[in-house]
Amino acid sequence: MSFTNGDVRKSALLTPHSSTTSSRVSTPGSDASIHRVKNVPGYTTPVFEGKQAQRTKAYETVAAKGFIPRELVKNEVAWFYDNLGIDDTYFHNESVEVISDHIIALYGAKVLAYTKHDPSKLVIQLEKITTADDATGGVEGAFFIHTSRPGVSATEGPGATCERRIDQLYLDHSNPAQAYRLETYRSTGAISAGNSQQLRCYFVSRCTFPAQAPKATLAGRTDIRAVSDINFLEKATANTLDIYQDVMWNVETRHGPVIELYEVEGTRERRIVIGYKMGGTTHFFSALSDLYHYYNLYSARKYVEQFSNGITIISLYLNPLPNSTAPPIENSIFQVVKEASLLFCLPDNIFFRTGPADSGAFDTSHAVQEATYAYCGWIFAQHFCNRLGAAYIGLKNVLDESNPDHAEVLNNIKRRFREETFTREGIANVIQAHPELIRMLYVNFAMTHYPSAEEGSSIMPTLSYQRLRTEQPLTDEELYAKIKRTVPNKHDAQVLESFLVFNRHVLKTNFYQPTKVALSFRLAPDFLPDVEYPKKPFGVFFVIGSEFRGFHIRFKDVARGGIRIILSKGKETYSINQRMLFDENYALASTQSLKNKDIPEGGSKGTILPSLGASPRLCFEKYVDAIIDLLIPGTTPGIKNPIVDLYDKPELLFFGPDEGTADMMDWAALHARARGASSWWKSFTTGKSASKLGGVPHDVYGMTSLSVRQYVLGIYKHLGLREKDVTKLQTGGPDGDLGSNEILLSSDKTIAVIDGSGVLADPAGIDREELVRLAKLRKPVSHFDQTKLTKNGYLVRVEDQDVKLPSGEVVADGTDFRNSAHLRFKADIFVPCGGRPEAVNISNVGALVDHEGKPHFKYIVEGANLFLTQQARLFLEKRKVILYKDSSANKGGVTCSSLDVLAGLSLRDKEFFDLMTFQDGKPTEFYQSYVKDIQQKITENAAAEFQCIHKEHLRLKGSKPRTIISDELSSIINDLQDELENSDLFDDVPSRRGVLTRAIPDTLREKVGLDELLQRLPEQYQRALFSSWVASHYVYRYGVAASSVDFFHFVRDLAA
C-alpha cells in the first residue's frame, strides 16, 4: 500500500501573492496583523492507491462475520468508504480486520440509536492506540474517530474527552527524543442518511527526525528541514515550510508563544499558526478548541507539528458556523488570537474549560478574559480572604505574645482558621454561583487596565472592548453595595469583596500583553491586615502560571533577596504549601530585611510553588519572564505593548539564589539582557557563575562563614575561651557552603555533625583531618572514613535501619534518627549551618534542656536561616544560653551579594566582561582585589554588630535578650535609613561624596572614579547606599541608645 501525490500536491496553505512570504496587513482595532493568502491547502491530500482492493476485502470480511444482514453489507461498506469522508490516511494505516470491525461498530451504533427513537443519539467512537511495543514494524501512534457537531465543545460522549486524552497521552509530554505529530480533519459526509452529524478524525504518529545534527542558516538560525519529521516533509508544501520557518525563527528569539493570523482570499476562512517551545504549556491543543467554539467557529483541519530543536507549531483552519448569531469571524478572529495568549498561560482554567461532569470544569458563559480574571481572583482570595476575624483579634489582645506558650497557641489557631474558613473548593463554588457579579468585577478591572491604542485615544475597539461597552461600569462603592445587596451570605460576600480588593490594589499587570508565559500583577500592599502583617511591605508581585503560583515581596524600593522554589512531596504537603505560601514568603522577606541592615538593598524574597509533577526550572523561567514584563516598558506592537502603569515609577528588583534556584541565576540575567534590560541585567541576579558572568560565589570565598565566624570568635574572645578546648555540635555538613567553610575555618573539638546524609558523632572529637578532607571535596558525612572514629564514635546514614550504637541503643530508622539528632547532643557551642526552618521550635525546644534545667549548649550562633523560631530563642536565652540569631550572624552572604549588585550597576558591559569574568580560565587581578574588599567589609560589619549587641546587653545588665536587642538594632538601623533616604542630607554634596567614598570598595572606586560612578548609579540606589552606610555605622558606633548630639557629631565628620 502506498500514497501517490500525483496531481494532488497543491500550492501552500499560506501561498502569498507573488513570493514565498505572505502579504501582511495591519488591522485597525487589533493587536494582530494579518497575512492575506490564496485559498489553497498547505498540505498535500494523500490518495491511497490500494483503497478499492482493500474495500473489496473489507466487504468480504464484514459479510463473513455475519453481524450485519448480508443484503445490507454492501450499503454499509459503501457508506463507510464513500459517504463519511474519512481521510485516506486512515485506510492506508489500518488493516482490513480493524476496518471491518469499525464498519460493524458503526452499524451497531445506528441500531442502538434507532431503539432510542432519537437520531441524535447516534454516537460513533472508533479508536486504536499502537504503543512502541505493539508497533512491530508499523508506526507508533493512534487514531480516534468520533461523531462531532461543528463549533461545539462536547460535554458528553467521546468528543468530551478525546482531545484532552491526546494532550495527556502525546502532546503534553512530547520532547525532541520522543515527539508526536497530529493531523485532524472534519469529515465531509454525514454519518447516516437521517443524521447530519459529521465525524472528527485524529491521526497521531511518532515523529522520525533526521539523524544528523540540525543545520543553521547564515544568520545562525535553525533550518527547519533539518529538524522536521519525515512524514511532515513529505506532506507539507514548500510555502508551508517557509511560513513555519519564519514562525520557528521567531520562537527561537522569544520566550512566549508566536501567533500569526492568515486571511484566506475569497473566503471567510481564517488560519492561525501558533509556535512555542515544547513543554511551554500543557493541554493547550484541547483548550484552543474551547476558545474558538466560544465564538461559534469550527475547524476544518488542525495540525500539530513537532521539531527536533524543541519547537511545537499548531495550525488551525477556522470557519464561521452557518446562520450563527455570534460576532462575525472578521471581528472575532482577533479575539481568538488575543485570548490564545491567555490560554497559553492558563489552559486548564476551571472557569472556562468545558468537559464531562467529572473533569472539574464548571459550566460557564465567561469569555476567556473574564474566566482568566476569575481564576486570578480565585487564587488571590485563597491567600487574602481575612481568615482570622474578630474572635482571633480578641484572643490576641488577651494573650501575651512574648510568652512562648501563648504565642504557640495563637500560631496554632491561626493555622486552623486558614485551613478551615475559606477552602479552594468553597471559593470556586462562590465564583461559579455569581457569574454576573464576576462579569461586573471584571469590567471594573478592565476599565482601569485595558490599554489604549495610543496616548490619549480611547480603548481599542476590539470585541473585548465591545463587550465592555455593553456593560455599565460600576464604581467601587456601587459594586460593594451591589454585593452586599445581592449576596446575603456573609461568607460568599467576603469572597466576592476580595475581588474588589484585588482590583483596587493592582498597580500594573501583563494581563493584556499580546504574548506572555504567565500572568503577573504588581500589587500595592495596603490591603494586608496589620494584625497578620504588622510590617507593611513596600511592594508585592503576584505571579500565576498554569504549573505554579508565586510571590515576590520587598520591604524597600531598592531590595534584594533569593528566589525559593518550594517543592511538595504529595497532595497533602502541596495543599499546606498553597495555604502558607504568602505567609512563608512574608516571613522570609521580613527576616531578610533585618539581615540587610548594613547594605543599600532592603529585604526581599520570592517564592515559587510548582504544581505536583511540574518542572521547577520551567516554573522559574516563567516567573522571571512574567515579572520582567512589568519592569520593562513594552515597545514591540503585537508582542509587548505598553501597559497601564498606575505606579508610574521605574522599579529595580535584584534576585538571588535560594533553595532550588542556585543553578538558574545565569539564565535569569541573560534573559533579562535578551529582553532589553541593558542597564541592569548584570545586577538583576547574584550568584551567577564566576568565570562567565562575573559572579562572586559565597561558598568558594567563604562569605557567609566569615560573618558567622566573627560571632563565634567574639564569644571566645570575651569569655577567654581557647577554641581547641571548646566542644561543638554542627548541623549542615561538609558538602554544604556554610558547613564546609565552618569546618575549614575552625579548630574546635567537634563532637557531632548532622547533614542530609546522616549523623556523624564522636564524643572524643571527630577526627579533624578527615573532616577537612570531606569539606575540601564537598562530600557529606556518609563518606567519612569510619576507621578514624574512636570506640564510642558512630555514623548513622539515613538509609540505615536497626543500627546498634556503641552505647547499646538501637536506631530503628536512620532518617527519623537524623531528623531529631540535633536535640540529643550536648556541647559547649551549637552552630547550625544547615537544616530546615523551625527545626527548633516551641514544641521541641524543651528537649534542649535536661531534667535539672541545664541547657545542652552554653552558646548558639545561628548560621542557618530561621533554624530556631523566635519563641525557641527566647526560651533558651531565659535559661542563660548566649545566643546570636540568624539575622545578625548570617549576613555575610547578603553583603557579598550587595557588592555583586554594585559591580553590575557600576561597570559598562565591556568593562564588566573584561574585569569581572575570568580570562584564560583565571580570575583577573581586579576580580581578586574586589573579592578581598568584599571579605574585608563582611568581617568589619559582622564584628561591629557583635560588639554593638554585646555592649548593649552589658549596659542593660542582661535584662533584655540578645535576640530582642538584635531585632531592635535592625529596626533602628532600617528606620533611620528610611528617614535618611527621605531627608535632604543626601543633597549635601560634600557629605554625599564622603560617604560614598567610604561605602564603595576601593578597587571599584579607583578603577572607575567616584565622579563617573555617581553618573552611572541610579539616584534611588545612591540614596539607599548613602543612607544604609550612615545609619549602620552611626548605630554601631554609638549604640541603640545614642542621642541626637551623637548624631550631630557623627554627621559633622561625614565630609572628612
Name the residue with cell 547550625: 832
Kindly report the CA angle at 610 between 606 and 616, in degrees rounded to 5? 85
Q: Are 673 and 863 in contact (CB under 8 A)?
A: no
The DSSP-derived string for 322-339 is: TT--SPPHHHHHHHHHHH
Q: List all residues 6 or more positions away from 634 whose beta carbon is below 8 Å from its beta carbon.
A: 513, 640, 641, 642, 643
Name the residue with cell 555583586: 900
Q: Position 963: which residue type?
A: T
Strand ranges inside 673-815, DSSP E: 727-731, 749-755, 758-761, 794-797, 801-804, 810-813
Kindly report the CA angle at 686 between 700 and 1029, in degrees rounded to 5? 95
Q: Are 297 and 320 in contact (CB under 8 A)?
A: yes
Asked whether the CA dihedral 104, 108, 114, 119 is positive or negative, the reply is negative
Q: Are 322 and 298 in contact (CB under 8 A)?
A: no
How far apart, in whole angstroms, are the C-alpha atoms of residue 616 and residue 920?
A: 34
- Burial of residue 959 (number of CB atoms within 10 Å: 0-12, 13-18, 19+): exposed
Q: Position 811: which residue type?
A: V
Q: Of 235, 556, 605, 682, which is the active-site residue?
A: 605
Residue spans of alpha helices (H) in 570-686: 571-595, 616-631, 665-674, 681-684
How far apart, in whole angstroms, are the C-alpha atoms of residue 748 and residue 727?
A: 6
Please confirm, yes or no, whether 605 is among the known catalytic residues. yes
Short-list 839, 834, 829, 838, CA closest to 861: 829
How far apart, in whole angstroms, are the C-alpha atoms of residue 432 and residue 219?
A: 51
- Cα 883 to chain centroid distance, Å, stands at 37
3-state secondary structure of 834: coil
Asked whether the CA dihedral 670, 672, 676, 678 is positive or negative, the reply is negative
Length of the chain: 1056
C-alpha cell at 316: 488551525
How far apart, in whole angstroms, are the C-alpha atoms of residue 728 and residue 735?
A: 18
Active-site residue numbers? 605
